Amino acid sequence: MPAGKRVVQSLKPLLICWLAAASAAFSNYCIAEDENAGLPTKAMVERAALAEGNQERLQKVFKKAESGERIVLGVIGGSITEGAACSKPDKRYHGVMLSWWRKSFPKSECVLVNAGIGATASNYGAMRLERDLLSKKPDLVVLEYAVNDRSAKEFAESYEGMVRQILNSPSKPALVLLFMARRKASDSAQEWQAKIGSHYNLPMVSYRDALLPEIDAQKLKWEQFSADSVHPNERGHTLAGQLLCAFLQKALSAYASGKTVAQKEPALPAPLISSRFESCRLLDGEDMKLAANQGWAYDGSSKRSAGWKSCAPGSTMEMETEGECIFISYWRIKGPMGMVSVSVDGGNPVKFDSFFEETWGGYRHMEQVAAGLAPGKHKVKIELLQERNPKSSGNEFRVLCIGSAGAKGT
């Protein structure tokens, strides 16, 4: 055998070993065509587990499922939870979680209630939480608003309201806070929301903290996991679901071993920021009983944009609601859209523009009209203006709902 061949043959076992080791290391960070190969890594799982929190409620759900009872899993948030950029429900983070529950508790019927609505924040979430989710008596709720809420106190206030509503719900569901990610870590409400989670000693899982360090270290690329700067693709959703399931599996293992006993749940503490959004009211679509109407008509032809519509400047409508602060939700889209002025109790009107510059609309937009109001009922007046965005070619406006927070007795 020639000398060169002998050298190659002698090195062959070493080359095979080296390639195997390199392949194993590489698989920790690379994505196969059809799955997340080698992910999540142990380090990612550890970073994702932001807080174990008090797991008494979670252990009660495990016990219920173990006995074969029906389990209702609820998720609520924005477009990520709704399923944008991931067309296969079983690949979405909550689809992966549902599969884990069914495999872990084969005797139990596990069902999912998806209350995600795209392009909405926790202010609207707080107002529809009872109707869209808590009324279904969930055993577990995953709350996801870190990329839809702005990093500001006003959104932390409505987020805390959601937390308090869930913890006070008659079904006493377990609550897990899930923090998804934008490409820039700073473009997230996680810091505010994590403070609230710590205040209530809640379990918290962070997709952001698991993924972004790997991207910053150039071990992974954002584009592998996301269709844009916000929405995870199928791989990103699957990874988020795996991180959530790893957290649940650790909690289940502790429960099964009997070594870890959850702390007894204390009474609900005083609010960290405010309890205003613990009591909300929502007048949505046909629920609006107008006290006066000139030129507006209800249009329910589209579920997403169902509401009161007018195209004639000067059209007015009035209604009553109650609460310490009042919000309007309206349809925003790049089209022939107009502007309205909204006043409360005859005060200074506030203008709202439903023309949207970006092409990804339309969506339900919610903004505050008034705050610091006295207890009791308030009159809301809406008028369609002749004025419109210079880029708009029309005056159409769709009022989707009127919401309020701090609505006592509702």
My answer on whether 287 and 357 are in the same domain is: yes
pLDDT in tens, 156-176: 999 999 999 999 999 999 999
pLDDT in tens, 321-350: 999 999 999 999 999 999 999 999 999 999
Tally of structural domains, the chain: 2
b/e for 50-62, b at 16 or more Cβ within 10 A? bbbbbbebbbbbb
Alpha-carbon distances of 35 from 166, 181, 205, 387, rounded to whole Å? 34, 20, 21, 52
Tell me how many degrees the CA angle 99-105-111 measures, rounded to the nearest 5. 50
User: For residues 265, 267, 273 and 278, what is the CA-based torsion angle, rounded to 10 degrees?
Assistant: 100
* pLDDT, position 160: 98
Distance CA 405, CA 326 (A): 7
My answer on whether 283 and 213 are in the same domain is: no
pLDDT > 70: percent of the chain = 90
- To the nearest 10 degrees (0 to 180), the angle between helices 234-257 and 93-104 is 30
Alpha-carbon distances of 99 from 112, 130, 239, 349, rounded to whole Å? 10, 26, 14, 50
In 3D, which of 242, 180, 189 has the Cα closest to residue 207? 180
My answer on whether 104 and 149 are in the same domain is: yes
Cα four-point dihedral sign 168, 169, 172, 174: negative
Residue 7 lies in a domain: no
Say if residue 24's pLDDT is above 50. Answer: no
My answer on whether 217 and 73 are in the same domain is: yes
Residue 25 lies in a domain: no
Distance CA 353, CA 368 (A): 13
pTM over 0.85: yes
pLDDT in tens, 102-115: 999 999 999 999 99
Out of 26-35, 208-217, 241-250, 261-270, least confident range: 26-35
Give the model's confidence band at 217: pLDDT under 50 very low, under 70 low, under 90 confident, else very high: very high
Say if residue 16's pLDDT is above 50. Answer: no
Give the model's confidence band at 260: pLDDT under 50 very low, under 70 low, under 90 confident, else very high: low
My answer on whether 101 and 231 are in the same domain is: yes
My answer on whether 183 and 290 are in the same domain is: no
* pLDDT, position 265: 80
Chain centre to alpha carbon of residue 300? 25
CATH of the domain at 344: 2.60.120.260
Q: Which two tokens stand for residue 42?
A: 């142990």
My answer on whether 217 and 289 are in the same domain is: no
pLDDT in tens, 343-394: 999 999 999 999 999 998 899 999 999 999 998 999 999 999 999 999 999 9
Residue 19 lies in a domain: no
Residue 269 lies in a domain: no
CATH of the domain at 69: 3.40.50.1110
Residue 298 lies in a domain: yes
pLDDT in tens, 54-101: 999 999 999 999 999 999 999 999 999 999 999 999 999 999 999 999
Say if residue 279's pLDDT is above 60. Answer: yes
- Among residues 226, 257, 288, the one where a domain terminates is 257
Contact 174, 188 (CB under 8 A): no
What's the average model confidence in pLDDT over 213-228? 96
Residue 50 lies in a domain: yes
Say if residue 19's pLDDT is above 90. Answer: no
Say if residue 303's pLDDT is above 70. Answer: yes
Residue 18 lies in a domain: no
What's the average model confidence in pLDDT over 19-31? 35
My answer on whether 329 and 382 are in the same domain is: yes
Contact 320, 291 (CB under 8 A): yes
Domain coverage including residue 52? 32-257
Say if residue 20's pLDDT is above 70. Answer: no
My answer on whether 252 and 283 are in the same domain is: no
Distance CA 66, CA 49 (A): 24
My answer on whether 354 and 284 are in the same domain is: yes
My answer on whether 207 and 143 are in the same domain is: yes
Out of 29-33, 112-116, 137-141, 226-230, least confident range: 29-33
My answer on whether 90 and 222 are in the same domain is: yes
The rounded mean pLDDT for the chain is 91
* pLDDT, position 36: 77
Give the model's confidence band at 28: pLDDT under 50 very low, under 70 low, under 90 confident, else very high: very low
Give the model's confidence band at 37: pLDDT under 50 very low, under 70 low, under 90 confident, else very high: confident
- Among residues 200, 222, 257, the one where a domain terminates is 257
Residue 313 lies in a domain: yes
In 3D, which of 118, 109, 209, 115 has the Cα closest to residue 166? 115
